[in-house]
Structure 1
């Protein structure tokens, strides 16, 4: 099986690098869940920081620190104490009421489903997993494979070698797990592998007859008042378990609060136990320790202070600090796979160490005003501007008198686009064949749907925004980009719908030549695309980049695979230099030359798909 997996890996890599088609997987991948609107059905209570023994000034400083930290790339932060939300900050264009990808954070939901299934008698912690999948076992099934228990999967010490890279090669993931090697004796050591969580998901479905979403809905999602929940499935219709889940960040917060309260939920209808007491206690206690940290049952733990963490790659965190009675949810798009990120370091420094007041603090109107100013000024990947200098009293009084004398004023007209922006409008550029598409390459790999590259681009002016008409995959997408502000839209690619938010500005390069820079964020995701256009004699140069970097993610996944002691061909090909690495760089950050065609012809714009309803306008 290991040799066959390597052959399939090389074949897949060849198809991607050489650009042979958009569907290179051996199966039809599950579509990304479509967000149709709606936040949590039930909100957590709100309160002021001082009322819950916290400082508004300290919270304002935390948001400023996160905004200024290089590489943190924070999308949002919600902090709750004593079961009440004390601050909620969104880094525009990310906003409340839109679900967010959880990545591996959803493993904690999978672990909870296992706990509930154990409590209800469907299987036991020390049951052999192979006993529930006899159809996948034969005389050739190894002793180690037959020895894997539910507990081994929960604590990431099963030794299975079929990993996240392998799932792109096989249609039946359960079969592939049972046919793959087991690198060490189950229980011997901790090796993080998301396929442990997937197999738990398959076990829940096999024994209960329900997938994770259906199983958890009446037991967790509905009692906690969750909003929309989306969870991608494998080709066999099983929730992926270890990734692929979309949730509103406040629903993530409620889930952390549930574990902080020992599995008891205190809602409008009173107290109700949702998770067995023993499971809620043991899941957040260190069960095994590895090179990456301490781990419970699909939850990261810290025996030193009793805190625990539900973590997803690229900075998705539900951080729980029982000593402080604090829960925080932080979503972001940084380049970290596990818990080691500058964002989490700063969050922990601000919330885990201080001993907050058990009772209310004195009211602090100035601090509350500063926190409100900071929350209103948050913007993705930009520091918070300092507060304005106070005006002398006589100037402030004169301004108030003048405003009163003028009376109500009409709304200001829309800002006109400056000449440097208009210089990029009104032409259609055709591009050479490439893999460079609108979606970040890392998202294409995770989604299993690969772009055949941008074919043409046209930009039109629209008041204080640019409208990009982007031809890709046989369709023309309409993408609004606000001029020095965020404009929201919606695009459909290969049958999947994505919310978008884009911001445009013109900067001078090192040769003092204007470059149109467009930052494209995907409010549901951890990834963003950076688009740069510079004029050339016969057209334009289009440069695409992305954050987080696909190369960084590949290197870390390969490093995790190496911990199992297996040889992965991806390592040599993608990280060993030479032509394959050059092709990977061309995939991640292509530079494409576009030639002017049909100057002034709006045909491309006429063919564009509707941009969809704009949800909000971000200033």
Structure 2
């Protein structure tokens, strides 16, 4: 642990993680390293100015939110609130009878949303400040769920991974509808409170719905606790079988990089599970080392240099 701390502190002294905001490392279920920084920050869509971070400061998780939604789906499934992943996706949205009846869409399943293999037209390559980005267009649409479901079908579902915040928006809606309450309320009672997490935020769109794909805000300490929950097999909070299903590599992204159910899975020499978010938000769990690393940073719409550098220092790479 001393060597790890020395490597991390050298990175911070050298300024090679210039937009670092927070770092928490857990090993064996215990916090072994904590560091915090300062700098400009944003809540989704809102400039927060210069922020001095400490262990009590909430931070945007951006797309690490998706991985938390993956956990929430498993909890709701265990409670009988949501359908099995193999069930039809569009039929969960009966308010769109034209889409439910569309033969091009009847084969779509919830699992296709969980694995981001919907086969629908979607592009998040543009900056997240531009309506050319499909997630931003979704947020600007009068009905986010219809916007996703009516995207043109461009390929067979289940064949290719395509990054899609809209898939997570649909999952968030299925969870909220099954639970009979807003996604954030369900998350609080089903996941956060049992984990001892008392303070969190979930940014909403103009329609009053939580941004399931990118809006969650947690302390780095609490983000690390989520990672530890995964390493612990879900404990009595998330069904253990769901943890196994969620982390099973299901679709190739590139090389040894795979995707499970809203989680990235590294299948190389060292198996690892990750949630990754814009700006350098990272949650890494390495089961063979009983290691969890949570990083927050302010490199929104930039290369994630700070997070990558700090993870390399923690892992000794």
TM band (smaller chain)? 0.7 to 0.9
Aligned to 1:286: 249
Q: CA deviation at 1:333?
A: 1.4
Gaps of 5+ in 1: 1-53, 265-272, 355-619
Match of 2:118 in 1: 158
Q: Determine which structure has greater relative contact order: mean sequence separation of CA pairs < 8 Å that are 6+ residues apart, divided by chain length.
A: 2
Describe the superposition over 1:274-316 as per-residue Cα deviations: whole angstroms up to 9, x where unpaired: 1111111222231111249321111111112221111111101
Distance of 1:316 and 1:140 partners within structure 2 = 36
CA distance, structure 1, for counterparts of residue 143 and residue 17 of structure 2? 37
Structure-2 residue corresponding to 1:323: 288
2:170 is matched with 199
Checking the alignment, whether the CA contact within 8 Å between 1:287 and 1:295 is kept in structure 2 is yes
CA contact (8 A) 2:11 2:313 kept: no
Corresponding position of 2:10: 64
Aligned with 2:160 (options 186, 189, 207): 189
Deviations 1:141-175 (A, max 9, x none): 54332221111101111123352132243111112
Partner deviation per Cα, 1:2-52 (whole Å, 9 max, x = no partner): xxxxxxxxxxxxxxxxxxxxxxxxxxxxxxxxxxxxxxxxxxxxxxxxxxx
217, 229, 239: which one aligns with 1:258: 229
Deviation for aligned residue 1:328: 1.2
1:346 aligns with 2:292: no
1:237 aligned partner: 208
Contact 1:136 1:178 in 2 (8 A): no
Q: Tell whether the 8 Å contact from 1:227 to 1:248 is kept in structure 2 after alignment.
A: no
Q: Residue in 1 aligned with 2:106?
A: 146
Establish whether residue 107 from structure 1 lines up as the match of residue 66 from structure 2. Answer: yes
SS in 2 for 1:135: coil
- Please give the alpha-carbon distance, in whole angstroms, between the structure 1 residues aligned to 2:4 and 2:314: 10
Counterparts of 1:182 and 1:67, CA distance in 2 = 50
In structure 2, the CA distance between the partners of 1:236 and 1:345, relative to structure 1 (3 Å rule), is: closer
For 2:35, the equivalent position in structure 1 comes to: 89
Gaps of 5+ in 2: 39-51, 123-133
Deviation at 1:81, TM superposition (A): 0.9
Query: What residue is the counterpart of 1:296 in the other structure?
Result: 260
2:297 aligned with 1:332: yes
Q: Give the Cα separation in 2 of the matches to 1:68 and 1:169.
A: 41
Question: Do the aligned residues in 1 keep the contact of 2:58 with 2:218 (CA within 8 Å)?
Answer: yes
In structure 2, the residue matched to 1:614 is: none
Query: d(CA) in 1 for partners of 2:99 and 2:111?
Result: 24
Q: Which one of 151, 171, 175 corresponds to residue 142 of structure 2?
A: 171
- Residue-by-residue CA offset, 1:354-406 (whole Å, 9 max, x unaligned): 8xxxxxxxxxxxxxxxxxxxxxxxxxxxxxxxxxxxxxxxxxxxxxxxxxxxx
Distance in 2, matches of 1:89 and 1:119, equals: 36
Report the TM-score when normalising by structure 1: 0.44
Describe the shift of the 1:139–1:199 C-alpha distance in structure 2 as closer, same or farther (beyond 3 A).
closer
Task: Provide closer, same or farther for how the CA distance between residues 101 and 83 of structure 1 changes in structure 2, counting only shifts above 3 A.
Answer: same
| Distance (Å, rounded) in 1 between the aligned partners of 2:206 and 2:153 | 23
CA distance in 2, matches of 1:198, 1:236: 13
Please state how far the C-alpha of 1:353 moved relative to its aligned partner.
5.8
Shift of 1:217: 1.8
Is the Cα–Cα contact under 8 Å of residues 141 and 178 in structure 1 kept in the other structure? Answer: no
Rg comparison, structure with higher value = 1
Distance in 2 between the 1:124 and 1:75 partners?
Answer: 38
Secondary structure at the counterpart of residue 294 of structure 1: strand
Mapped contact 2:11–2:17 kept (Cα < 8 A): no
Q: How far, CA to CA, are the matches of 2:99 and 2:250 in structure 1? A: 33
Matched with 2:46 is none
**Structure-2 change in CA distance of 1:199 and 1:67 (3 Å):** farther
Contact persistence 1:98–1:248 (CA under 8 A): yes
Contact between 1:104 and 1:242, CA under 8 Å: does it hold in 2?
Answer: yes
2:78 to 110, 119, 144: 119
